[in-house]
Chain A
């Protein structure tokens, strides 16, 4: 091979870069996020059910909250009718956070896990650590 050592060095760099996700995880624990729903408000509920189904909330809560922002602040609509016909007050702080008062154990658990940084708390008042106000 002409310039063989240079080519092999380049290939070594290539292999190191490509396998980085695998080598970086060697010896580390595989942790799953576990969002907690053990707040007093949720414990009081008979049927532990969010405003929509769990899978829908897992996938689409970002769209829901984004549309709530427009409903409340731009259109002045304060009533959300869920798919099961129940009515809810369109409010992050008074509806969502009333039950999910444990932001750092609920919201942050997954958001940190997948490294998303929603800007909810740029405008809203961030709940204090420890849950209840």
Chain B
């Protein structure tokens, strides 16, 4: 059911953009109002979400680690998987953010001939890495539409991406890789019973949405063909805060732009916030120094306590009478 719902919503969005531009002709709504609104919702929603997370108290270090912690100097400890210093944490975060180290350690358990076997399973890691890096490169490539002079570094990325010079316009490697990665990520939710069982509409929806974005983008570039110069006038107008709606842009582009706007607006309210959340994971970004530093819980009730001397001062006479030994006479 979840998958059907997500699919129908994305189809509805596509249809909405098509009807809005092709039939009703509300081009300026889809070209100007919705993209700006989406960016504003994205930035403000993102900041609010992160600040909300930032306000949660983190009084203790939460070591969920995959290595020997630092104890005695002659016991070898795991510097990256169980860091005790800020530098180690920085390394762990680096590997987490750039290489998805947690996914790399993914394992798969299976019962074969009545015995339990646990083995490494790298497919999810490879799929996730391929998807995220392709998406990043595609995003960076798109900056050529938002800057008048495309910086040389973006041109270099562009030419590396189209390195094979297949066809004209030349095929981007990332377009193929992201398509394959998305189909894999969707496929594991459909064909893997365990993953299917825990999948919700909010898991399928971003997948279908991004598949829709990639599909419309690929269609525009390689098959349907659009007036790129007019599109750049539109996108550059958005970036220059002087929005215009040039003539001669088909609804395929508006569908693409609308789906991207939906992705941006949906971002802060969804699981996609793992983009910001990965930086705020307490199990990843805190050094395991519980044995070296005292972390005081701010919620501790201020316990009223009394030293033995005060107690003895108060009851000394009674203690003496009862024959209880006292420290001070």
Residues 1 to 54 of chain A near chain B (Cβ within 8 Å):
1-4, 7, 10-11, 14-15, 18-19, 21-22, 24-25, 28, 30-33
Binds A, one of B208-216, B228-236, B316-324: B228-236
Q: How far is the CA of A7 from the CA of B56 in the complex (A)?
A: 12
- Say whether B144 faces chain A, with CB atoms less than 8 Å apart: yes
Report yes or no: B239 in contact with A15, Cβ–Cβ below 8 A: no
Greatest chain A CB density within 10 A among B150, B226, B227, B229 is at: B229
Report yes or no: A7 in contact with B280, Cβ–Cβ below 8 A: yes
Q: How far is the CA of A50 from the CA of B237 in the complex (A)?
A: 29
Q: How far is the CA of A80 from the CA of B206 in the complex (A)?
A: 45
Greatest chain A CB density within 10 A among B146, B225, B226 is at: B225
Q: How far is the CA of A21 from the CA of B226 in the complex (A)?
A: 23
- Say whether A88 faces chain B, with CB atoms less than 8 Å apart: no
- Say whether A75 faces chain B, with CB atoms less than 8 Å apart: no
Q: How far is the CA of A10 from the CA of B93 in the complex (A)?
A: 14
- Say whether B115 faces chain A, with CB atoms less than 8 Å apart: no
Binds A, one of B39-47, B68-76, B124-132, B177-185: B39-47
- Say whether A58 faces chain B, with CB atoms less than 8 Å apart: yes
Q: How far is the CA of A23 from the CA of B55 in the complex (A)?
A: 30
Given A1-B55, A30-B237, A115-B158, residue A10 in contact with residue B279 (CB < 8 A): yes
Residue in contact with B240 in the complex, picked from A28, A58, A59, CB distance below 8 Å: A28
Interface residues on A, range: 35 or more
Give chain A residues whose Cβ lies under 8 Å from the Cβ of B276: 14
Interface residues on B, range: 35 or more
**A83 CB, nearest partner CB in chain B, Å:** 15
Give chain B residues whose Cβ lies under 8 Å from the Cβ of A11: 47, 50-51
Q: How far is the CA of A19 from the CA of B145 in the complex (A)?
A: 14
Give chain B residues whose Cβ lies under 8 Å from the Cβ of A1: 51, 54-55
Residues 218 to 253 of chain B near chain A (Cβ within 8 Å):
225-230, 232-233, 236-237, 239-242, 248
- Say whether A97 faces chain B, with CB atoms less than 8 Å apart: no
- Say whether B270 faces chain A, with CB atoms less than 8 Å apart: no
Give chain A residues whose Cβ lies under 8 Å from the Cβ of B50: 7, 10-11, 14
Residue in contact with A14 in the complex, picked from B46, B159, B227, CB distance below 8 Å: B46
Give chain A residues whose Cβ lies under 8 Å from the Cβ of B51: 1, 7, 11
**A25 CB, nearest partner CB in chain B, Å:** 5
**B97 CB, nearest partner CB in chain A, Å:** 12
Report yes or no: B225 in contact with A4, Cβ–Cβ below 8 A: no
Give chain A residues whose Cβ lies under 8 Å from the Cβ of B159: 117
Binds B, one of A60-68, A98-106, A125-133: A60-68
Given A1-B55, A7-B54, A25-B239, residue A115 in contact with residue B150 (CB < 8 A): yes
Known: A21-B146, A65-B168, A110-B228. 17 other contacts (CB 8 A): A2-B57, A2-B59, A7-B280, A10-B279, A14-B47, A15-B47, A24-B239, A25-B148, A28-B148, A55-B248, A58-B230, A59-B226, A62-B169, A114-B144, A114-B228, A115-B144, A117-B155
- Which of B's residues lie within 8 Å of A, judged by CB? 39, 42-43, 46-47, 50-51, 54-59, 143-148, 150, 154-155, 158-159, 165, 167-169, 225-230, 232-233, 236-237, 239-242, 248, 276, 279-280
